């Protein structure tokens, strides 16, 4: 059974001319050489929403797409486990690396990867807790408290090295184009912004409610960056303005959108904040897909 679009999403998408429209519903800023029009442009292809946390398992069970776990060599004796999902398309697809939250490679992250594949990308979600012996719950996903404690011990240099390896693996697949993007959530959102600092060959980075790197680290960024944030997230949002100012001064492309009333983790908790999290999801996900299509499918 194919992924269904929520009725609310259909109504919202039909009511807006562009997925990045600021209007009364969102605070938006588009900076850098590409400008607002390119950063928020939409595709004519239909875009569905990813599952919320409560629906993720059922969505995966119903997915017609091929998903599998693989082990990817990350140099020396290191390997990283990853979940790979393939789109149903006749031509080659760009790759998107999906970076999990502090909860590890959860069922929800796997469902997000599946939705990216539904939208036409080869999605690869690495497990950065590989080899750390984090116990799993009944659903096979890491126990949240154990994952949260373990993520504090992860070395950030190792994270970037593993992303490099996973990206190479993905782009070497016979069904892949030699281009990749990255997206991440919370802890993974910060990792995704930092990967833009780290990787000169990155095609695009999408940051969901993750903190920005220090301004003096942004000079090496080449890829366009899109940030998507909830209004009720002061800790993360305090890092937006410094990044925006620095990226503008450097002539880099950084577009961001702050969704009113939405909280941290709105894509996972779509039933939260009295409807604001769902409204944020309805705005953020189509913009994400359009951004990747613009920068990776050329």
Would you state the pLDDT for residue 180?
A: 98
pTM, 2 dp: 0.87
Nearest by Cα to 220 from 207, 205, 230: 205
User: How far is the first Cα of the chain from the last one, in angstroms, to the nearest whole number?
Assistant: 30
DSSP label of 40: T
For 270: left if phi > 0, alpha if psi spans -120 to 50, otherwise beta; the answer is: alpha
Would you state the pLDDT for residue 139?
A: 83
Would you state the pLDDT for residue 298?
A: 76
Nearest by Cα to 114 from 123, 103, 106: 123
Task: Give, to the nearest 10 degrees, the angle between helix 156-172 and helix 187-198.
Answer: 70
Would you state the pLDDT for residue 45?
A: 58
Nearest by Cα to 27 from 289, 237, 206: 237
φ and ψ of 28, to 5 deg: -135, 145
Would you state the pLDDT for residue 27?
A: 63
Would you state the pLDDT for residue 186?
A: 98
- Residue 257 and residue 287: Cα distance in Å, rounded? 10
**Residue carrying structure tokens 């126990």:** 143
- Residue 234 and residue 232: Cα distance in Å, rounded? 6
Specify which residues 228 forms β-bridges with. 208, 257
Would you state the pLDDT for residue 56?
A: 97
Q: Name the H helices within 40-94.
A: 56-62
Would you state the pLDDT for residue 46?
A: 63
- Per-block mean pLDDT, blocks of 10 residues, the chain (298 long): 36 33 49 38 64 96 98 95 97 98 97 98 98 90 93 95 98 98 98 98 98 98 98 98 98 98 98 98 98 95
Residues near 98 by beta carbon (within 8 Å), at least 6 away in sequence: 109, 112, 113, 116, 123, 124, 125, 182, 183, 184, 188
Cα–chain-centroid distance for residue 31? Answer: 20
């Amino acid at each position: 059974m194919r992924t269904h679009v929520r009725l609310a999403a259909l109504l919202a998408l039909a009511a807006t001319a562009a997925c990045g429209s600021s209007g009364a519903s969102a605070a938006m800023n588009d900076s850098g050489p590409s400008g607002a029009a390119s950063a928020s442009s939409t595709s004519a292809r239909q875009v569905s929403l990813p599952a919320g946390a409560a629906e993720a398992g059922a969505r995966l069970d119903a997915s017609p797409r091929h998903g599998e776990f693989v082990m990817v060599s990350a140099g020396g004796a290191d390997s990283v486990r990853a979940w790979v999902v393939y789109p149903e398309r006749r031509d080659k697809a760009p790759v998107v690396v999906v970076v999990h939250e502090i909860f590890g490679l959860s069922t929800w992250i796997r469902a997000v990867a599946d939705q990216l594949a539904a939208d036409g990308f080869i999605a690869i979600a690495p497990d950065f807790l590989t080899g750390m012996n984090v116990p799993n719950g009944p659903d096979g996903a890491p126990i949240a408290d154990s994952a949260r404690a373990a993520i504090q011990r992860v070395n950030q240099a190792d994270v970037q090295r593993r992303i490099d390896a996973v990206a190479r693996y993905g782009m070497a697949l016979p069904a892949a184009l030699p281009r990749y993007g990255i997206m991440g959530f919370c802890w993974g959102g910060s990792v995704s912004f930092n990967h833009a600092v780290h990787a000169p060959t990155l095609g695009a980075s999408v940051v969901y409610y993750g903190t920005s790197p220090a301004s003096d680290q942004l000079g090496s960024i080449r890829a366009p960056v899109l940030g998507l944030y909830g209004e009720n997230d002061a800790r993360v949002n305090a890092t937006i303005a410094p990044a925006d100012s620095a990226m503008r001064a450097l002539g880099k492309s950084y577009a961001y959108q702050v969704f009113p009333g939405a909280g941290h983790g709105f894509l996972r908790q779509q039933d939260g904040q009295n409807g604001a999290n769902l409204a944020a999801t309805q705005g953020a996900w189509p913009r994400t897909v359009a951004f990747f299509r613009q920068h990776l499918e050329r």
